[in-house]
Amino acid sequence: MDYETPKNQMPYPRIYVERTLALIKPDAIHQAEEIEDVILRSGFTILQKQKPVDPFTWLADWLVRNNPNKPQIFDGATGEDAA
C-alpha cells in the first residue's frame, strides 16, 4: 500500500477566466479616460490597451485567440493553461 499518495485526494479545482474585449469608437476617443474610469469602477481590470494600426486585422486575430466557444482552462496545480 502506497501511503505517499492517498487515493481519495481531491483534484485541484479548475478556474475559468473570462476575457472581455472593450472597443472605443473613433468618435468617442476624446472620452477614452472617462470610459476607462467607468470600466474600472465597474470592477473590471484593464490588462492591455492598444491602438492598432489595422484595427480590423487586430480584432480578427484577437477573436481567433480568445474564441468563446473554446475557453482556456487554467489548471491550478501546474499553473499552465490546459487545452
Domains of the chain, residue spans: 14-82
pTM of the predicted structure, to 2 decimals: 0.47
Query: In the prediction, which pLDDT does 7 show?
Result: 61
8 Å CB contact between 3 and 58: no
Convert the pLDDT of each residue in 30-69 to its tens digit.
998 999 999 899 888 887 788 888 888 988 888 888 887 8
User: In the beta sheet, which residues pair with residue 14?
Assistant: 75
- Give the separation between CA 22 and CA 55, rounded to whole angstroms: 13
Looking at residue 82, its pLDDT comes to 46
| Cβ pair 20, 13 in contact under 8 A | no
Decide if 12 contacts 75 (C-beta within 8 A): yes
Give the model's pLDDT for residue 48. 79
* pLDDT recorded at residue 41: 93
